[in-house]
A and B are shown apart, each in its own frame.
Chain A
Amino acid sequence: MGEVGPKIRRGRGVSPVIATIILSAAVITIGAAVWNYAQGATTVIANDYINGTLDLLKEVTERFAIEHVSNSSDGRTLKIWIYNYGDVDLVVDLYADVNGTMNSTLGTSIDSGSLVKIDVSFEGDPLVRGDEVLIKVHSRRQNNAYYEYYAH
C-alpha cells in the first residue's frame, strides 16, 4: 500500500499548469491555422461566386442582331453587319452555310453599341445569284443570332 503514492505521482509527467499551457497553445495554433484556411477558402469561394455571377450576367444581358447582309458583285465576299445593342462587349464567330458548305470568320470583337461589318470569303466557290445563305452568329458566351439571305 505504501508504494502506490509515489508511482502515481511519477505518472503525471507535467504539472497541471504546464499541461494547460500546452493544450491552450495547441488549440490556439490549430485554431489560427483553421481560421486562416477558412478565411482564404471563403475569399476564394466568394470571388468565384462573384465572377460566376458576373459572367452569367454578361451572358444574360448580351444583345446583338444581324442588321444587314449583302454580297460583292463577283460573289466572292459575303458582307454581314452585326449590331451590338447590349451593354457588354462581345466576341463572335460567324458561320455562313451555302448548300452544306460552311465558311466562317472567327473571333470578331464588337464593342457595346457599335456596328461591325464582317466579311466572309467565298474565294474558292463564289456565290451566285439566288444562292441561299444560312448565317449563324455565335457569341463566345453561347448566344446565337440567325439570318437567311439570298445572294444578289
Chain B
Amino acid sequence: MRTTNIMPIKDRRGVSTIMGTLIFVGILFTSVIPMMLVMNQADTIYVKKVKEVEVKDDERVEEDLVVYIYPGGDTEIKVRVKNQGTVSVTIVRVWINNEYNSTSELIPTGTQKDFGPFNVTDLEEGDTVEVKVVTERGNVFYSISGNLYFYEGGWSTTSVGICVIIHNPKGGEYQVYLLNGTIWSDKIYESKDKEWEDVIASTPVSVYPNLDYMVDVKKRKGVNWKSLPGSPIPTPIEYPVNGPPFIMVWIDG
C-alpha cells in the first residue's frame, strides 16, 4: 500500500500566506496609515481655523462704539468715535451720506478719536447728513445723535429735544438741568458715580415755540454742585418757525 505525503503542500501554502500578510501590512503602513494621518491633519487645520473665526466673531460682538457728529463749521462736520467695548477697534471707513472716507485708525478700548472735519459744501437746503462708521470686523455703527439736517444755513436734527454732550477728559460727576427761564427746572441727568467718559444726556421737550429753555450743567466739587463755566446755556426751541427742532449742546467738563 502506498501513501501520499502531504507535508510539502502545507509548506507551499505557508509561503504564500506569509507573503500575502507582508503585502497587507505593507499596504497598511504605506497607504492607509499615511492617508489617515493626512486626513487627521486636515481635520486639525479645520478645527484650528474655525476656532480662530469663532474668536473673531466673539470680538466682533464685543465691539461697542459710540458715534456722534457735530458741526465743525457751516460746511463741515466732525465725527467723534468712542470705544466703550472690551476690544480695540480699527475704523476702516467713515460714511458721510453716500460717500466714504477710508481710514485705518485703531481705537484702543476706553479711548476716543475724532475724524474729520469733513467738508459737506455740496449740501443743499433741507439735505440730511447721515454718518456711520465701519470697523475692520464688519460692524457698522450709526451716530447716536441722529442725522444732521442742513437747515437755513445751520444744522439741526429730526427730533424735538435737547441733547447735552459733556466732554469729560478729566472725569467728574455731573448734573444736567433743563430750565424754562425762572419758571421751573427739571433734572434730566445725574451721575451715579465719578464718570470717565463723555456724558450724553438727552431729553424731549414740548413743541411749544418760543419757550425760553436753558440747560444748566453742574459739576460736583466736594459736597457742592457748581455750574460749569458758560452754564446755564440758552437753548431756545423755535422749531418749526425759526429754528431747528433739536438743539445739540457741547460743553467742556
Write the residues of chain A forming the contact surface with B, with a CB cutoff of 8 angstroms: 4-5, 8, 16, 19-20, 23-24, 27-28, 31-32, 34-35, 38-39, 41-43, 45-46, 49-50, 53-54, 56-57, 60-61, 63-65, 67-68, 70, 79, 81, 83, 85-87, 115
Contacts and interface: CB of A to CB of B under 8 A. Distances in A.
B138 interface: yes
Contacts of B100: 68, 81, 115
Interface of B: 2, 4, 8, 12, 15-16, 19-20, 22-23, 26-27, 30-32, 34-35, 38-39, 42-43, 45-46, 49-50, 53, 93, 95, 98, 100, 132, 134, 136-138, 140
B16 A23 contact: yes
Contacts of B93: 67, 115
Contacts of A27: 16, 19-20, 23
A116 B31 CA distance: 46
B15 A23 contact: yes
A81 B32 CA distance: 48
Given A28-B19, A45-B35, A67-B93, 19 more contacts: A4-B2, A24-B15, A27-B23, A39-B30, A39-B31, A42-B32, A42-B34, A46-B34, A46-B38, A49-B38, A53-B43, A60-B50, A61-B50, A63-B138, A67-B140, A81-B100, A83-B138, A85-B137, A115-B100
Contact of B134 (A39, A67, A86): A67
Contacts of B30: 35, 39
Contacts of B95: 68
B42 A49 contact: yes
Nearest to A22: B12
Given A45-B35, A53-B46, A38 B27 contact: yes
Contact of A57 (B4, B26, B27, B49): B49
B50 A49 contact: no
5 contacts: A34-B23, A38-B27, A50-B39, A85-B136, A115-B93
A65 to B, nearest CB: 5
